[in-house]
């Protein structure tokens, strides 16, 4: 599951997930019928509107062993919200199918560490990096330090702690628009903490949060790039490329 | 007299003003930062903390699902202990009961222990209308009352004030209602606390009627419990001849032994102490000790409405510790006033709509959206209220309450999005336009986003289009 | 219909016909602190009471009278009925008004028990402890407690206490955190708390 935001705005992150998983020997497919997890609707209160989205979600991922997504938020939505939507539909069949599907959904770092059992994915990234554990990865999914374990194994990386890391960046889906002033106030504090680390790159497991904090950093001309965890893990040592 | 929250603007508007107030943001960041660290330290000390949370949640859940039985039992034990039990359906009825009791004793004033229930029902204003002064005796409540201000935190209503502001308020306002502040008052917290001691002592010593709430009411024994720090609670509960306690019907614990969970959970979650300085426990009247006339007002005021909400019901487990406020990143930026209620912060964002119902006024309807759903509140809550899930549920209730009328632009957009996202093919078509969309948004607006944040450059092709073209093959 | 019936009716309607399961309450926390060594419990009690900036004196039963005399020296002092120790110069509780108590500097009382984990003393206002106002209005509270009365934690305390009598749980002198959430000692309750722990009682 590439997620709607990566599909439309950050296709490179999707491509990096594919590259990374194939490098680790996983057979990857992208079912074209997939769209979105429905979270934007659910979190805004539009449950009826999310029902057809859930139907297409369940249909699209039928028959796969694992549904891997580079987003803690979307994985969290599948695991914690889909039942709500299914219940709303009143369709017991959909409820059962959605429950079955959500059990196969993994956030990328969970899939790598728990299913594949790897922490060293053979990545190379010689930059100063700080990591923001997004709220849904941290608290809804409880991915714990899996992303950090993956990052620590990246060769050449200079990983530095982010002060106040566990605090929300202020994105919050439609919160970013409905309560834009508060959202920006929170994001600005996050951006300040990022700048304090002296990192060149801010890494997180959710593109949505990165778009928000990245948008602020870019407006502030902070000179800090934002990258998805998958974008970093997909990088390999250039010498190897040359050698092959 | 303390103001009221009536007519407050919707959350985003109120929040905008608060976020722009740099003094307020500094005060809040300092105060919430302090309390977060203290709480973390004393919670970390208790190995069995998670089990205590589970126990707390289970006990309260059991109370709620058997509330009718527990209420009857509580009434029985209270009556047996010599208390008079009253029932109040709403704020008006509760205020009338308290006012009648005070009037029956020709009281022109009452002393009050900090109580959320009495604030919720606007008791002070109702008593004032009958010519009865209600003196707040908790230090923070006193600051709010003297400053003609609104409370902005459940536990520390004057959290938005720093010491210099408090000194100003004491120096200028104490003299109007009693013993003035000492002339040489400084902004040292110890001096400020002493000024409050001197100012209030005369009121404690002469008051005929005390008014309180209760943190817990034990059904089995009729024990009421008040947890406090300063001793103002002990004064109000002990010295007057008459005591009236206004208690929300959800405050019940089934048995005396259950207190062993809550007297551990509450102080550590609230002020970040192993134990608060004073906890008072009493049931009814004790001969020759304390008030000889004791009343308990059992208050509904929307609680049965909340109880009927299967998802939202858990909000009634709340023990008003305010841990959720202190860890909330939104609260830290906006403060409590933006929530327009005596219950601010994450718990306020769910409790107010649950007590009042949604779909009637925009202010209440805006509260469930006053959150990023980051989950910090759930993690901190000693009785495990899943606030994010209740927020999401309430959002759907807000949306449903407005279905059928003229749809708002957001509803139209959501409907369209739902239709597009129901099919990969349709989404693929839409994405061809998305690049255009971003470019357009850059030019004309999406103002709420772009006023402080850049938008990313649109990609040349979507992931979907790339996959279709290449099958995911990079070579 | 009375308001009582109305509210109970609304409660029943709100809960509805849904089954009313009673959730299992985990009670493992009650075992915590059980096996602790006595001297460790007492040491913790002292440390935690002092942590609130209260004074603790440890002594033997034979020394209590002397310790009390020193603690209240130079002050007017009131004692509750049934206090087992003499306090020189003290007046008895004769039902003084609050205003009269306000003119007295100190009070000496016994206690029902102490809690090590939280540094708390609990009064149940039985013999030697007095009515509630007595230990509230004077500015110095000297509280005498036998070592055998100190329990490990809150669960042990709750189990021992009888809810039929009123209780006052005291953890340090009166304090407030209402100014910038910083703890300041000394508001309305006694501004000084002095706990006397008697090792052989
Ligand atoms: S919701 Fe939970 S954390 Fe918030 S005040 Fe209530 S009990 Fe405390």
Give tens-digit pLDDT for B30-48: 989 999 999 999 999 999 9
| Contact criterion met (CB below 8 Å) for B420 and B430 | yes
At which of B303, B326, B343 does a domain end? B303
Per-residue pLDDT, averaged over A37-52, amounts to: 92
Residue C28 forms part of a structural domain: no
pLDDT band of residue C57 (cuts 50, 70, 90) is: very high
Q: Flag whether C104 is in a domain.
A: yes
Q: How far is the centre of ligand 1, averaged over its atoms, from the C-alpha of B261 (Å)?
A: 15
| Residue B24 host element (H or E) | helix B22-44
- Name the most confidently modeled range: A21-35, B152-166, C105-119: C105-119
Quote the percentage of chain A above a pLDDT of 70: 98
- pLDDT, residue B437, reads 55
Chains sharing 3 or more CB pairs under 8 A with chain C: B
* B447 pLDDT higher than 80: no
The better pLDDT of the pair B391, B6 is held by B391
Q: How close does chain B come to C176, measured CA to CA in Å?
A: 6
- Give the sign of the dihedral formed by CA B439, CA B442, CA B448, CA B451: positive
Chain C residues whose beta carbon lies within 8 Å of the beta carbon of residue B384:
none
Strands C182-185 and C175-179: antiparallel
Q: Which residues lie with the beta carbon below 6 Å from any ligand 1 atom?
A: B 269, 318-324, 347, 380-383, 385
Domain boundary among B303, B335, B354: B303
Q: What's the confidence (pLDDT) of residue B433?
A: 63
The answer to whether residue B90 sits within a structural domain is yes
A127: distance to nearest CA of chain B, Å? 22
Q: What does the block give as tokens for C151? A: 């329990």
- Residue B138 confidence (pLDDT) above 80: yes
pLDDT at residue C180, rounded to an integer? 81
Give the closest residue (by CA) to ligand 1 atom 7: B318
Task: Return the axis-axis angle of helices B189-206 and B139-146, rounded to nearest 10°.
Answer: 90
Chain C interface, best mutation among B275, B285, B290, B303, by max C CB count within 10 A: B275
On whether residue C19 sits in a domain, the answer given is no
Distances (CA, A) of A154 to A124, A151, A233, B397: 5, 5, 7, 46
The CATH number of the domain holding residue B15 is: 3.40.50.10420
Q: Which of B346, B366, B412, B463 is the mutation pick for testing A, counting most A CBs within 10 A? A: B463
Domain containing residue C146: CATH number? 3.40.50.10420
Q: Which helix (H) or strand (E) holds A13?
A: helix A11-23
pLDDT of residue C20: 81
Query: Residue A31's pLDDT is what?
Result: 92
Per-residue pLDDT averaged across B211-231, rounded? 97
Q: What is the ipTM of this complex?
A: 0.96
The model's pTM: 0.94
Domain A128-240 class?
alpha beta
Cβ–Cβ below 8 Å for B283 and C11: no
Q: What would the mean pLDDT of B224-228 be, rounded to a whole number?
A: 97
76-95 of C, contacting B, C-beta below 8 A: 95
The pLDDT-based confidence of B1 (bands split at 50, 70, 90) is very low
- Predicted local confidence at residue B8, as pLDDT: 77
Give the total number of structural domains in chain C.
Answer: 1
**Do B329 and A50 count as a contact with CB atoms less than 8 A apart?**
no
The answer to whether residue B184 is domain-embedded is yes
Q: What is the CA radius of gyration of chain C?
A: 21
Chain A residue closest in CA terms to B433: A8
C78 domain-assigned:
yes
Nearest CA in chain B to A133: B374
Kindly give the distance from the C-alpha atom of residue B434 to the centroid of ligand 1, in angstroms, as a whole number.
42
Q: What is the pLDDT of residue B440?
A: 52
Which residues in chain B have their CB less than 8 angstroms from residue A55's CB?
Answer: 422
Whether the per-residue pLDDT at B380 is higher than 80: the answer is yes
In a domain, B219, yes or no: yes
Residue B437 belongs to domain spanning: 414-470
Q: Which of B249, B273, B303 is the last residue of a domain?
A: B303
Residue C53 falls inside a structural domain: yes
Percentage above 70 pLDDT, chain B: 95
Residue B458 burial (CB count, 10 A): 18
Report how many domains make up chain B.
2
Report the C-alpha gap between C105 and C114 in whole angstroms.
24
Look at residue B398 and tell me if it is in a domain. Answer: no
Q: Which atom of ligand 1 is nearest to the CA of B322?
A: 5
Pick the residue with more confidence: B412 or B401? B401
Average pLDDT of the segment spanning A113-127:
96
Residue B2, pLDDT above cutoff 60: no
Radius of gyration of chain A (CA): 18
H helices of B357-386, where? 362-366, 376-380
Of residues B454 and C75, the one with the higher pLDDT is C75
- CA B60/CA B216 separation, integer angstroms: 11
B neighbour chains, 3+ CB pairs within 8 Å: A, C
**B403 inside domain:** no
Domain boundaries, chain A: 4-115, 128-240
Does chain A reach chain C with at least 3 CB pairs under 8 Å? Answer: no
The ligand 1 atom at the shortest distance from the C-alpha of residue B317 is 7
């Amino acid at each position: 599951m590439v997620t709607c935001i990566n599909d439309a705005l950050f296709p490179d992150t999707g491509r990096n997930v594919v590259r990374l998983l194939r490098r680790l020997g996983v057979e990857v497919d992208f079912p074209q019928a997939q769209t979105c997890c429905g979270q934007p609707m659910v979190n805004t209160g539009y449950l009826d509107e999310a029902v057809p989205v859930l139907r297409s979600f369940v249909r699209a991922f039928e028959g796969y062993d694992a549904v891997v997504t580079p987003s803690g938020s979307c994985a969290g939505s599948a695991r914690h919200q889909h039942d709500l939507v299914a219940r709303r539909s009143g369709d017991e069949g959909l409820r059962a199918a959605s429950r079955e599907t959500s059990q196969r959904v993994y956030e990328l770092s969970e899939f790598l560490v728990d299913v594949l059992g790897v922490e060293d994915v053979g990545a190379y990234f010689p930059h100063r990096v700080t990591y923001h554990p997004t709220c849904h990865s941290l608290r809804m999914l409880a991915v714990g330090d899996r992303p950090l374990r993956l990052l620590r194994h990246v060769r050449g990386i200079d990983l530095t702690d982010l002060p106040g890391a566990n605090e929300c960046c202020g994105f919050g889906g439609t919160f970013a628009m409905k309560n834009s002033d508060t959202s920006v106030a929170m994001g600005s504090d996050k951006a300040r903490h990022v700048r304090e680390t002296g990192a060149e790159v801010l890494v997180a497991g959710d593109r949505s949060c990165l778009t928000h904090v990245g948008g602020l950093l870019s407006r502030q001309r902070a000179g800090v790039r934002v990258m998805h965890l998958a974008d970093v893990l997909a990088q390999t040592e250039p010498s190897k490329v040359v050698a092959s | 007299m303390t103001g009221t929250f009536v007519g407050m603007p919707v959350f985003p508007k109120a929040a905008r003003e608060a976020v722009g107030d740099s003094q307020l943001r500094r005060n809040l960041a300092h105060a919430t930062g302090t309390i977060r660290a203290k709480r973390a330290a004393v919670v970390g000390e208790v190995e069995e903390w998670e089990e205590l949370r589970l126990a707390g949640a289970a006990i309260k859940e059991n109370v709620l699902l058997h509330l009718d039985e527990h209420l009857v039992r509580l009434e029985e034990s209270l009556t047996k202990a010599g208390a008079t039990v009253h029932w109040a359906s709403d704020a008006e009825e509760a205020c009338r009961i308290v006012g009648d009791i005070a009037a029956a004793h020709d009281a022109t004033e009452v002393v009050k222990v900090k109580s959320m229930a009495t604030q919720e029902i606007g008791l002070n204003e109702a008593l004032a209308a009958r010519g009865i002064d209600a003196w707040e005796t908790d230090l923070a409540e006193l600051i709010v009352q003297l400053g003609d201000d609104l409370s902005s935190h459940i536990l520390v209503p004057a959290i938005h004030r720093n010491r210099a502001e408090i000194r100003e308020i004491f120096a200028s306002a104490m003299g109007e209602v009693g013993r003035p502040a000492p002339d040489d008052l400084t902004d040292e917290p110890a001096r400020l606390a002493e000024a409050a001691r001197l100012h209030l002592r005369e009121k404690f010593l002469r008051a005929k009627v005390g008014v309180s709430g209760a943190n817990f009411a034990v059904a089995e024994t009729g024990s009421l419990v008040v947890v406090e720090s300063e001793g103002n609670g002990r004064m109000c509960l002990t010295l007057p001849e008459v005591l009236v306690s206004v208690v929300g019907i959800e405050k019940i614990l089934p048995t005396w032994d259950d207190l062993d969970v809550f007297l551990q959970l509450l102080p550590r979650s609230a002020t970040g102490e192993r134990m608060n300085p004073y906890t008072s426990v009493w049931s009814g009247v004790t001969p020759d000790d304390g008030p000889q006339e004791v009343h308990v007002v059992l208050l509904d005021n929307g609680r049965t409405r909340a109880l009927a909400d299967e998802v939202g019901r858990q909000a009634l487990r709340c023990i008003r510790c305010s841990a959720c406020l202190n860890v909330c990143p939104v609260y830290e930026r906006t403060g409590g006033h933006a929530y327009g209620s005596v219950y601010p912060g994450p718990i306020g964002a769910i409790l107010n709509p649950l007590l009042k119902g949604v779909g009637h006024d925009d202010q209440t309807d805006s509260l469930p959206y006053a959150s990023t759903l980051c989950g910090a509140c759930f993690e901190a809550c000693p009785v495990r209220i899943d606030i994010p899930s209740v927020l999401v549920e309430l959002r759907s209730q807000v949306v449903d309450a407005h279905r059928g009328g003229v749809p708002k632009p957001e509803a139209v957009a959501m409907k369209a999005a739902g239709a597009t996202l129901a099919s990969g093919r349709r989404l693929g078509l839409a994405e061809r336009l998305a690049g255009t969309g971003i470019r357009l948004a850059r030019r004309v607006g999406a103002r709420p986003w772009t006023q402080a944040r850049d938008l990313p450059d649109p990609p040349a092709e979507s992931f979907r289009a790339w996959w279709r073209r290449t099958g995911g093959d990079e070579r | 219909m009375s308001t009582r019936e109305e509210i109970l009716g609304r409660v029943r309607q709100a809960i509805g016909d849904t089954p009313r399961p009673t959730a299992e309450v985990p009670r493992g926390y009650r075992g915590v602190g059980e096996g602790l060594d006595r001297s460790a419990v007492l040491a913790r009690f002292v440390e935690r009471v002092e942590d609130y900036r209260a004074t603790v004196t440890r002594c033997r039963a034979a020394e209590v009278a002397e310790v009390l005399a020193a603690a209240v020296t130079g002050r007017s002092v009131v004692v509750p009925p049934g206090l087992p120790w003499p306090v020189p110069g003290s007046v008895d509780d004769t039902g003084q008004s609050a205003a009269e108590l306000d003119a007295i500097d100190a009070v000496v009382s016994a206690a029902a028990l102490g809690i090590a984990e939280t540094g708390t003393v609990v009064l149940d206002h039985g013999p030697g402890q007095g009515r509630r106002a007595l230990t509230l209005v004077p500015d110095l509270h000297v509280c005498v407690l036998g070592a055998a009365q100190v329990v490990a934690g809150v669960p042990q305390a709750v189990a021992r206490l009888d809810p039929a009598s009123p209780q006052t749980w005291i953890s340090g002198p009166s304090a407030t955190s209402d100014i910038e959430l910083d703890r300041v000692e000394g508001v309305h309750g006694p501004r000084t708390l002095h706990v006397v722990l008697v090792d052989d009682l």
